[in-house]
Amino acid sequence: MALLDAELKSLTNAIPMNEKFRSNLQKRFIKRILNSSLQLGLLQYLENQVERYASFNRKREKAIQFTINLLFVLVRLFGDLYALKQTKNHNK
């Protein structure tokens, strides 16, 4: 979880970080996404719905990126959990 947190923080320049370290985290993040069972279609749908919901009230716009990040973590962790369960079932 801490690694995922660091990877997400590396995606924004708002958090000060050594550039070489930031680059390594970003590369690792991309590699882990490509090797995971992440459902990009689901993430895109959720992101669109968050932006649609926030568009009804300007005060909600501040929370868009935070909400999208939380949904990303949730979908990624559930995907990892599902893959782990599939592996365990397959090995029985």
Does residue 56 sit in the same domain as residue 71? yes
Does residue 69 sit in the same domain as residue 89? yes
pLDDT one digit per residue (tens) for the chain, 92 residues:
777 788 878 877 778 889 999 899 889 888 877 777 678 888 899 999 999 999 999 999 889 988 988 898 888 888 888 888 888 887 77
Full domain range(s) for residue 53:
39-92
Does residue 5 sit in the same domain as residue 24? yes
Cα separation values, 12 from 9, 78, 82, 90, Å? 6, 24, 29, 39
Number of domains in the chain: 2
Residue 22 CA, chain-centre distance (Å), reads 16
Does residue 31 sit in the same domain as residue 43? no
Does the predicted TM-score (pTM) go above 0.85? no
